[in-house]
């Protein structure tokens, strides 16, 4: 038409394609394609390579404007062990974690729905997921048409130390427990830092937990025998203090990374807490307990199912159950001159 002015479409470089899910309200952004080649003979080497050479991709996909402060991503990588159906690197706002149960729950359902498992069976399909902490076996309910709820068996979980006294500047001397469920977490009742999980602001909870984590990192050396990649504190979990043996539902909040708040009950955190309660004889083998997010009200169940030895330590394998849901899919792009679009956090 006369006078028509055509604007040339801007060129933009594809970053990646994702499938969006959530488990108990906690995001699961599964990166299914578009990520650069990752080098490494083991999954821990692959995780280290991404951290050292491709961290700008994590920031671009997780941070604003595509994500947010509490976004969580699962990067699918090539398995390096024969038994695995798929392998995953977990990414959060401040870096990488060795285990994430809420991702395993959604990812196991995704694997069945998208044919990543060779042998799909009813009423359950077995999915082996290689995580940085080790091989995790999930069982996905399947009715012949649709995948549903998921349970998974953890890597060996154990108590690292109990009643550790740490000096936290704002709160003074506190006693915490540290337990491992694929990653190390500290546990303390919220009332010990003057908070109530039901009524306190979530940022007050996050700040307090982060201060406890910072103090532990300064004062307590955490070591996983023979593996430096696993030898660090992932975060602090503030509980409602309900550790009684009667099996009532208990609430807690997991704060990890850079004050990132888990909306779900946190699968690896529940694993570590079940191991801690079993160690304290508050839960018996094959006894199920429910753990609830104090904000979304989502529930994961956990139970110790098998005693194991980890070097000189005694621990358990824990079964965690929950359900993941689909939210959509995304194709992310980046224009070459978009410096802000490379990722930022407020």
d(CA 256, CA 217): 13
Q: What is the pLDDT of residue 6?
A: 54
d(CA 68, CA 311): 40
Residues 271, 261 contacting (CB under 8 angstroms): no
Domains of the chain and any CATH numbers: 13-153+326-330 (3.10.310.10), 157-321 (3.10.310.10)
Q: Which stretches in the chain have pLDDT values below 70?
A: 1-14, 245, 247
Q: What is the pLDDT of residue 11?
A: 53
Residues 330, 18 contacting (CB under 8 angstroms): yes
Hey, which residues does 125 pair with through a beta bridge?
A: 140
Q: Is the dihedral of CA 241, 245, 249, 254 positive or negative?
A: positive
CA 243 to chain centre: 22
CA 57 to chain centre: 19
pLDDT digits (tens, 9 = 90+) for 66-85: 999 999 999 999 999 999 99
Q: What is the pLDDT of residue 155?
A: 97
Tokens of 43: 């999954």
Q: What is the pLDDT of residue 13?
A: 64
CA 14 to chain centre: 27
Tell me if residue 100 is catalytic.
Answer: yes
Q: What is the pLDDT of residue 251?
A: 96
Q: What is the pLDDT of residue 12?
A: 62
Residues 15, 332 contacting (CB under 8 angstroms): yes
Question: 3 exposed, middle or buried (CB, 10 Å; 0-12, 13-18, 19+)?
Answer: exposed
Q: What is the pLDDT of residue 272?
A: 98
| H or E, element range at 214 | helix 202-219
CA 309-230-80 angle, 5° bins: 90
Question: Pick the catalytic residue: 16, 100, 131, 294?
Answer: 100
């Amino acid at each position: 038409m006369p006078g028509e002015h055509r604007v040339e479409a801007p060129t933009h470089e594809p970053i990646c394609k994702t499938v969006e899910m959530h488990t108990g309200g906690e995001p699961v952004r599964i990166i299914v394609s578009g990520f650069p080649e990752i080098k490494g003979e083991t999954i821990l080497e692959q995780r280290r390579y991404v951290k050292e050479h491709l961290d700008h991709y994590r920031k671009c996909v997780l941070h604003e404007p595509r994500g947010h402060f509490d976004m969580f991503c699962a990067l699918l990588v090539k398995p390096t062990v024969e038994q695995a159906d798929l392998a995953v690197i977990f990414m959060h706002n401040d870096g990488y974690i060795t285990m994430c149960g809420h991702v395993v729950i959604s990812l196991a359902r995704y694997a069945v729905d998208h044919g990543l498992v060779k042998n799909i069976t009813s009423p359950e399909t077995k999915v082996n997921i290689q995580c940085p902490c080790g091989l995790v076996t999930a069982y996905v309910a399947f009715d012949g048409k649709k995948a549903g709820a998921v349970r998974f068996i953890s890597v060996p979980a154990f108590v690292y130390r109990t009643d550790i006294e740490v000096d936290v500047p704002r709160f003074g001397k506190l006693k915490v427990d540290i337990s491992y469920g694929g990653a190390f977490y500290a546990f303390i009742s919220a009332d010990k830092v003057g908070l109530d999980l039901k009524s306190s602001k979530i940022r007050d909870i996050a700040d307090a937990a982060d201060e406890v984590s910072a103090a532990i990192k300064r004062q307590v050396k955490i070591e996983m025998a023979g593996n430096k990649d696993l030898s660090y504190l992932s975060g602090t979990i503030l509980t409602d203090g309900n550790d009684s043996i009667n099996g009532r539902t208990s609430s807690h909040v997991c704060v990890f990374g850079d004050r990132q708040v888990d909306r779900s009950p946190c699968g690896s955190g529940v694993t570590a807490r079940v191991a801690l309660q079993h160690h304290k004889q508050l839960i018996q083998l094959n006894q199920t307990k429910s753990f609830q997010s104090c904000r979304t009200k989502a529930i994961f169940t956990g139970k110790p199912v098998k005693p194991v030895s980890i070097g000189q330590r005694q621990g358990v394998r824990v079964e965690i159950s929950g359900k993941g849901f689909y939210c959509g899919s995304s194709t992310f792009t980046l224009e070459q001159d978009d410096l802000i679009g490379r990722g930022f956090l407020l």
